[in-house]
Each structure stands twice: as C-alpha cells, then as structure tokens.
Structure 1
Amino acid sequence: MNSSWRCDVDGPVLPLHVTEHINAQILESVVAKVATGSASGAPTPLWGLWPLPTGWMVTGVGWAGDCRSGVRATVLACSGPAPIDRGPADIVLVAEEPGVGLGARFAGIPGPDPGPFLEGARDGAPAHAKVRAAGWPTPLWSVKSADDRSAYVGEARGMWLYAVAWPSSSGYLVAEDLSLCDLVESRPSELVFGAPSPYLHGSA
C-alpha cells in the first residue's frame, strides 16, 4: 500500500488542500493549521497582499502537506481590477519549501523547482521586480510560464516565493512595489474577501 499522491509527470507529490470558500473565520482556521509548522522546521509563511490594492480582495487559501510532513507550502489568491486595462485579474502567492512543486504548477513550468528557469538570477542580472516581504526588500525574477499568465519567483525566509498573475498583462502589478505580509504572524482586520478564485480549484 502507498498512500502518496501521484502526479502523472512528477511522480509522488504532497496533497493540496483548498478551502471551498473564504472569509475571516476560514482564514483563521487555515492559519492555525499552518502555524503548527512542518516536520522540517518553522511554519511556512502565508503571504498576502497588504495593503490590498484598490478594489482587490482575498479570494482563496490553501496549503500542501500531509499528516506526516505537516504544511510544506501555502497559497493565497487575490482578485481585483487589472492595473492596465482595469479588467478582472487574479494573483496567486505561493510560499514553499524546495522540492514541493506547488508554485511551479501555478506558474505553468515543469519540475518541482524553478532553478532551471532562473538564468538571470544565477548570472547576476537585475531583478525584474521587487516586493517587500514582511518589510524586507525581496527581488523576483520572471520565469517563462504558460501564455495566459505571468510568473515571478524569488526567495523569502529560506523558501521559494512565487507571484503568478492572470492574465499575463497583470504581471505589471508585481512591478508596482507590492508589500506582502505574513498572515501567520498578523492578519489585518481590514482584509476584504470575495468569491472563490477559479485558479485554486484545478483550472490553473
């Protein structure tokens, strides 16, 4: 008997748990789960946009892990008006330990880690975008993703940090000096919640 979840391409993977709806109470329950940490160490961050851009809402939350390994990755979705054409846009923020592969799935790149797609970072090229993660300047590099989205990846607190946006033109939002807060440490009472994001339920 093998209880592992399996991907047809990558083999054994950790199960992804996504809440059906999102509100303050549901977010609080997920944070309690994440705060217990993983078998490998401290809790994985749960990155959220804060302050939220005008018109934006939190639209989903999830985590990857099992009862043996604990929470190894987190994901939070936000939705709002695109920065350029003002049409609908979505962004997914993923924090994960190396080798998990959740961020790569949302980014539309193969394999569990983005290393092969970070030539610019290895060559010392300037970052394509910068965010502030828990107050710390955090460089992000663009990675080649599926045509319908844009994806940026960097490192924060010793883990991969992905920011994946739909449609692809909405990646401009990442270049607007976004600030991220770790919702495990602090949850602003002013967070606004909206209808569930389709990108957390298998359509990515």
Structure 2
Amino acid sequence: MVKAKPTDAPLVIVRPDLMKAVERWRRHLAQERRLAANTVEAYARDVDQFLRFLTGHLGEPPKLADLADMRVVDIRAFLAARRNGGAGSRTVARGIAGVRSLVRFLERDGTATGAPFRAVRPPAQKRSLPRPLPPEAASKVVSLDQALDEEPWIAARNTAIFALLYGGGLRISEALALRRSEAPRNAHDALRVTGKGGKQRIVPVLPAISAAIA
C-alpha cells in the first residue's frame, strides 16, 4: 500500500497501482494539458476525497481495478456521503469534477470506464437571487490561475468574459455579442456596448480587463 499526503488533507491510503495511475494523471494535467497549478491541486483534492471514501466504502484501500468496477450506486453513495458531511449542492457537484477527469484519463488505456460517472447527475442546486461578489471573490473569478477548465483557451475566454461582467458592468448577453474587431486593444480604450432596446452606451475599460481580453 502507498500513503499519499497532500498538504491540506489527511493521509490517503491506496494500492500502488492506483497511486501510480493518479501520479500519471497529475503529470498529464500539468505537462500535457498545461493546466494551472491551482487547477491541478483542486482536481487532486477531488480525487483524494473520493479515494478516502472508497477506503471506507470498500473496507480496504482501493486499487486500480476498483475504479473499473465502479457502479452508479457507488458514485451515488459518494455524493450522499459528501452531503451528509455538510457539503452543499454546489460543492458536491464541483467535487466530482476531478474524479471524472481522472476516469476519462484512465479510459484511454482501458483501465477504467466513465459510463457510471456520466450516468450520475449532480445534485440540483437551489436558485437564489444574484448577489454582488466581494472584492476577494471577484479577484478569484477573473484570475486565470483559478480557472478549472481543462482547455486553456476556454479558461482564458471565460476569464475575459467575467472581467467584462464584473469590471465593465456588462450583461452576459452584451459580453457574448461583442465581435473581435470591437475588443479593446489597450488600457485606454472604451467600449461601445449595445444593450436592451438597441440602446448604446460607452463603457470605460480598465487595464485588467484589457489584459484579460488580450
């Protein structure tokens, strides 16, 4: 058995074959997918939570074959355990992302199947009125290092859109309607935005927004 200890989590005990697979997956995320270090660590925490659950669920440290034998009922048990531990619906839905990424990676060489994970829908999230983000949270939203998308260009695009929403006050429809030729090209540009009813307004563009769009 192999013990792995992330900096902010208890010991995770798994069989050597599964530990090697997890290490290969992490190298794949960092070196081939070129994900940000924060994204890799977030996915790794998701997997660590799942492996700790499997140790108790199976009654022994999990091995690689156990992932191949996963059933829908096992995954639902994991989600239920997370909910019973106090995690909210949004946290539970987010917490399965890293596990799915690992299983997709292992599907390539036939050592796991992602079908049970794709068959389980994340828990429904309560709808509530939007609230403005505090400055610290807003900084994380528009930070490329905090993005959790596996495709770097998607993470960069989403960061630019969030910057327009938070820093420029644009509606999501207004941000998505912008054409490439309308993108601000330097820190002193202003943006002409067409809103509801075809009304136009001039929006000043902060340097941080220009940098995200660039």
After TM superposition, the score normalised by the length of structure 2 is 0.24
Comparing both structures, which one devotes a greater share of its residues to strand?
1
- Structure with larger RCO (C-alpha < 8 A, sep 6+): 1
Comparing both structures, which one devotes a greater share of its residues to helix?
2
Greater Rg by CA: 2
